[in-house]
Structure 1
Amino acid sequence: MNKRKVGSRHEEQAAAFLEKQGLKILEHNFFRRGGEIDLVAKDGKYLVFVEVKYRATTTSGEAAAAVDFKKQRRISRAAQFYLLRYGYGEPPCRFDVVAIDGDEIQWIRNAFDYCG
């Protein structure tokens, strides 16, 4: 199975997990040149931008550790574009990470701040 298919499968898994936690998934794979947001969701009053990371094993590090500053900056820029594109203004937002290591799912709320 290629990496894109593996990634899509785990993004769907993360979306289902978040929906069970009460979030409403608004969009999958929002793309703009220079960045992508895996999931955009609504959690109460918050608009949530979610990065999904998967690692089959932790031999090369845990999935959450792969969301480094460079990745955070790309996600932040894509989120800014998303807000402008859909006319959201400045709603309360947060950046979450769903890290999947093997069969274990970890949801990290407020994983990082906006990196403009």
Structure 2
Amino acid sequence: MRKREENRRQTGTFYERKAGEYLEKQGYKILEYNYRCRAGEIDIVARDGEYLVFCEVKYRKDNKKGTPLEAVTLQKQRTISRCAMFYIMERGLDGEACRFDVAGITGSGEKIELIRNAFPYME
């Protein structure tokens, strides 16, 4: 089980970096990968113009269990929202314009689907 978890983490890291490269090509400035706090984790924190962006990256080998974008459940949205609040508080960024984006990657990762402003802040 430990080996499987390690492989999943390596796969996740690989595709998070791939999404980060894609975001940079879209004009984003990556501030941080894998921000962790007691509420959970955010895959990518970036700046896109005036916006502080919290981006969730989801990878699926295929769509048998649904698309990557469908995997960002309400519970996951709440977790990301809480983490974003911690990030903002820790860095004194109150009043910053923020949004939540989702990057979905399927297959070999050649095609990345980016949803800007994918969901609102969730309490």
Q: What is the TM-score normalised by the length of structure 1?
A: 0.97
SS in structure 1 of the partner of residue 42 of structure 2: strand
Dislocated runs of 4+, deviation >3 Å: none
Counterpart of 1:109 in structure 2 is 116
Unpaired stretches in structure 2, ≥5 consecutive residues: 1-5
Paired with 1:101 and 1:46, the residues of 2 have a C-alpha distance of 26
| Structure 1: tracts of 5 or more residues without a match | none
- 1:51 matched residue in structure 2: 56
Identity over the aligned pairs, expressed in percent?
A: 52
Q: How many residues align?
A: 116
Counterpart position of 1:35: 40
CA deviations 1:56-98 (Å, max 9, x no partner) are 1001110000000000000000000000000001211000000
TM score, norm. by length of structure 2: 0.92
- State the superposition RMSD in angstroms: 0.9
Counterpart residue number, 2:3: none
